């Protein structure tokens, strides 16, 4: 994995179910993993291996969904020798889901912000 998030960065992500009462549009997204046309956005973390967030596979916004995905599987994923990348904090600061174009598109949210 390129740019594996630091323990410090991971420690700032809310634990699973901590943001359950927050509407999806207002969820804070802490990490963005990507490879090719696939994106994973992290809102919660179990502090071991399990993330909860939003996944878009192969650019398919119609089938994109909120759910769980494994940190270990993202770390091990490689396509033709290219590994998953985690966007650096200075380029991807924590922001609301409604402020991320890909998430808005997949959820049918017209407005960003």
Determine contact, residues 42/1, Cβ cutoff 8 Å: no
Which pLDDT belongs to residue 51?
98
Helix (H) or strand (E) holding 103: helix 101-107
Q: Encode pLDDT of 12-66 as tens digits.
A: 999 999 999 999 999 999 999 999 899 999 999 999 999 999 999 999 999 999 9
Q: What is the pTM of this model?
A: 0.94
The alpha carbon of 111 is separated from its chain's Cα centroid by a whole number of angstroms, namely: 20
Task: Report residue 24: phi and psi, to 5°.
Answer: -55, -45
Which pLDDT belongs to residue 113?
47
Which pLDDT belongs to residue 80?
87
Count Cα neighbours of 90 within 13 Å in the Cβ-side half-sphere: 1
Determine contact, residues 84/77, Cβ cutoff 8 Å: yes
Three-class SS state of 72: helix
The DSSP call for residue 6 is: P
Q: Average the pLDDT over each of 62-71, 78-87, 89-98 and give the range with the smallest value.
A: 78-87
Given the structure tokens 């650096």, which residue do they identify?
88
């Amino acid at each position: 994995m390129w740019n594996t998030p630091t323990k410090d960065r991971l420690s700032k992500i809310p634990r699973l179910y901590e943001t359950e009462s927050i509407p999806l549009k207002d969820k804070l997204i802490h990490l963005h993993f990507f490879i090719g046309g696939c994106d994973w956005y992290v809102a919660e973390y179990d502090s071991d291996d399990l993330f909860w967030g939003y996944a878009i596979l192969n650019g398919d916004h119609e089938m994109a969904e909120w759910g769980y995905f494994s940190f270990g599987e993202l770390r091990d994923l490689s396509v033709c020798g290219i590994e998953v990348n985690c966007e650096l904090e200075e380029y991807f600061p924590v922001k609301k889901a409604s402020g991320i174009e890909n998430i808005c598109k997949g959820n049918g949210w017209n407005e960003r912000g």
